[in-house]
Structure 1
Amino acid sequence: MSNAMDEMFEIERRDSILILRMNRPDRRNAVSQGVWLGLPDLVARINAMDDLRLVVLTSSTPGMFSSGADLVEFKEVGFDVEWSISNQRAVGAALQALAECVHPTLAAIDGPTIGAGAALAIVCDFRIATPGSIFAIPPAKLGIVYPQFATVALVALVGERHARSLLLTARTIAADEAAQMGLIDRIVPDLESGVTAVAADFSSTSPTAVRLLKQSIRRAVNDPTALSDDLVRAAVTSADFREGVHAFIERRPPGFASISGQD
């Protein structure tokens, strides 16, 4: 990984779960352009890990998810129009890569989740948060626009009414309101048990089917008329499909090869 990525992330493999911990406590996990530029490559390497069930994005610092964009970097170069445009493009490419990760992704949040940090959480498949977590999207207070990919994802997640409230007023909301509007899925007493509960949801699912279903959902959003022949073909010819059908008929739990690591 690049220096920026090494500085930003600690990576832990725990069986079929990969944990990405933001670890920049001195900057409150502020996200620099180097991180945005390096994230697509990291996601590509994660996509190549066939035996994963869940990818978790969290923080190594209790009580702090992310303070957002690196404003020190903005102060140094952000007034350069070309840099700002290239940075927005890098942010969009990084968020799209994370959103299109082939494995299920979970943002495990404890504490302030601001701006760019919220964008990282928004594009994950699932979000859990502790009761004391807070959320804000402050570009309106900074005189800048939110990355377009993040805005589209936010509207899809919470609807236009809530997106307007968050973006145009830049107000801070607590975890309970975030849950009510759909910004997060669950409020959990602690992240460890919350991650374990989400991982358990996938314990009897076929990773092959989950990957294909993620593609199908993206197509449903982006092009509802798109055919899914290739997804059906990939599913029906997989070992997971044969095992799933036999397990259902035989009334037993499935033993998916793509979970157990067997060929």
Structure 2
Amino acid sequence: MDHAVRWRQSGKVGHLTFCRSSKRNALRMADWAELSDMLEAISKAGVQALIVESSDPQVFSAGSDLVEVEALSERPENAAPFAMVMQRVMQQLGAGPMVTVAAIAGPCHGAGVAIAMACDIRVAGPRATFSIPPAKFGISYPSGDIRRLARLVGPGQAARLLYSAETIDAQEAARIGLVDLLDDDVAARCQDLARQIAANSADSIALLKGALDQHVSAAEPDQQFLDGFRTADFLRFAGRDRG
């Protein structure tokens, strides 16, 4: 199987790169597991600032691979492991002293938005777009991701994005607080920011991150998320001919 993610390190700065651009960086269950393993390795490698990016500036991530999501209608026993590995990745992105920076140069949708929200800082370019589409499929969004969304944009804007599943552009995402910085050159801005962070005290950053308390527990499967894979609307969606 082709690898959807890779990472490299330069001093105290790391780069975690999505590289399945032919599928819009959609992640399969095996990719989520590989991503979790990589984050575990990165946390032990002395990385102080990690840039989460795409090898193709035309796309950040379409989230989870819909082919595998649809297959959960036939193999519901796979839903809990799928949910758990996603939750573990989100926790790893926010946990520990390492600062994570999402470099969002292109479209960012579904679980791709969850990855971006789990990072400490989000930088978007003019071609970036955002949507959270589970309401189109008859499923829910993980509770931890919903809490992160509400924390970033407030409950009203969170409700708007979740219930309408509309796509917004980078300017609107910045206006409501979904992203923190806008820049025409996302890669350069994130690299500069990561270097600034890496030059500072690791002990201070660990204390500051602890005070911000951005961690969401991934100890148990998210039952309301799992229940979504049993709804009649999801089963109808999963049975569609998608060509």
**TM exceeding 0.5:** yes
Q: In the alignment, residue 183 of structure 2 is paired with which amino acid?
A: V
1:138 to 133, 141, 146: 133
SS in 1 for 2:154: helix
String of CA shifts for 1:58-108, please: whole Å, max 9, x gaps: 000121001121011123344432222331222112211222142000000
Query: Is 1:177 matched with 2:169?
Result: no
Query: Is 1:35 matched with 2:31?
Result: yes
Alpha carbons 1:104, 1:125 under 8 Å: kept: yes
SS in 1 for 2:51: strand
**Higher mean Cα deviation, 206-215 or 110-119?**
206-215
Q: In the alignment, residue 100 of structure 2 is paired with which amino acid?
A: T
Alpha carbons 1:91, 1:147 under 8 Å: kept: no
What residue is the counterpart of 2:78 in the other structure? 83
The within-5 A match list for 1:141-220 is 141-202=136-197, 204-218=199-213
What residue is the counterpart of 1:241 in the other structure? none
Query: Is 1:53 matched with 2:12?
Result: no
CA separation of 1:18/1:152 partners in 2, compared to 1, >3 Å: closer, same or farther?
same
SS in 2 for 1:55: strand
Gap regions ≥5 residues in structure 2 = 217-243
Alpha carbons 2:3, 2:31 under 8 Å: kept: no
Question: Whose Rg is larger?
Answer: 1
SS in 2 for 1:7: coil
Tell me the TM-score normalised to structure 1 length. Answer: 0.76
Q: In the alignment, residue 46 of structure 1 is paired with which amino acid?
A: I
Deviation at 1:143, TM superposition (A): 0.8
String of CA shifts for 1:24-64, please: whole Å, max 9, x gaps: 122110011112223333222211123x2310100001210
Query: Is 1:12 matched with 2:11?
Result: no
Alpha carbons 1:31, 1:117 under 8 Å: kept: no
Partner Cα distance (1:27, 1:78) in 2: 21
Alpha carbons 1:65, 1:111 under 8 Å: kept: yes
Alpha carbons 1:95, 1:120 under 8 Å: kept: yes
1:111 to 85, 106, 126: 106
Identity %, equivalent residues = 33
Query: Size of the alignment, in residue pairs?
Result: 216
Partner Cα distance (1:25, 1:42) in 2: 19
SS in 1 for 2:3: helix
Deviation at 1:200, TM superposition (A): 4.5
Partner Cα distance (2:118, 2:65) in 1: 19
Tell me the TM-score normalised to structure 2 length. Answer: 0.82
1:71 to 57, 66, 73: 66
What residue is the counterpart of 1:237 in the other structure? none
